[in-house]
Amino acid sequence: MDQAADYITEEKRKSLEAELLDLKGPKRKEILANLEYAKSLGDLSENAEYHQTREDQGKLEERIAKIEQILASSEIITKGGGDTIEVGSKVVVQKEGKKEDISYTIVGSEEADMAAGKISNKSPFGEALFGKKKGSQVSFKTPNGAVNYKIISVS
């Protein structure tokens, strides 16, 4: 598995495809209707509704392009397995000097969410873990200095 590649899970792919359908259908129509209404108000140079709607339209088209790019360039991953950490792996680690174990799932950068225990394979911690096995020690730099972890399990 190439660590530099972009990955998404099947669930994320479905979520992005559903969002794309919504953005290209109802959301686009809503913005076009708002644009027509704003144009009907008169002088476009001082029409705040028109300028706001044009800005919203730009953001919508930008999001559509981003989703299309993600779907076109990302590889779909299956859940991890095996004893080597890769995208999709669930990892239990213990921070040096601490007793409690912490569980993380290695995901692509589009799905990263530290609060949910999902770390990107491209984050400093994800890069340090990538390719390692149970029992290994990993270290990575943070703004507050180096942090060390021991890998307790990989699944």
Judge whether 2 lies within some domain: no
- Gap between the terminal Cα atoms of the chain: 16
Judge whether 1 lies within some domain: no
Domain of residue 64, CATH code: 1.10.287.180
Does one domain contain both 99 and 72?
A: no
Q: How confident is the model at residue 115 (pLDDT cuts 50, 70, 90)?
A: very high
Residue 2 or residue 113, greater confidence: 113
In the chain, the number of structural domains is: 2
Give me the mean pLDDT over the 11-39 stretch. Answer: 94
Instruction: Among 50, 76, 102, give the residue marking a domain's end.
Output: 76
pLDDT tens digits along 70-112: 999 998 887 666 788 988 899 999 999 898 999 999 998 889 9
Please work out, in degrees rounded to the nearest 5, the angle formed at the alpha carbon of residue 72 by the alpha carbons of 60 and 58: 15
Instruction: Among 22, 54, 76, give the residue marking a domain's end.
Output: 76
Judge whether 69 lies within some domain: yes
Give me the mean pLDDT over the 123-144 stretch. Answer: 92
Q: Which domain holds residue 132?
A: 78-154
Q: pTM to 2 decimals?
A: 0.74
Residue 2 has pLDDT above 80, yes or no: no
3-state secondary structure the chain: CCCCCCEEEHHHHHHHHHHHHHHHHHHHHHHHHHHHHHHHCCCHHHCHHHHHHHHHHHHHHHHHHHHHHHHHHCEEECCCCCCECCCCCEEEEEECCCCCEEEEEEECHHHCEHHHCEEECCCHHHHHHCCCECCCEEEEEECCEEEEEEEEEEC
Domain of residue 113, CATH code: 3.10.50.30
Does one domain contain both 61 and 104?
A: no
Give me the mean pLDDT over the 113-120 stretch. Answer: 92
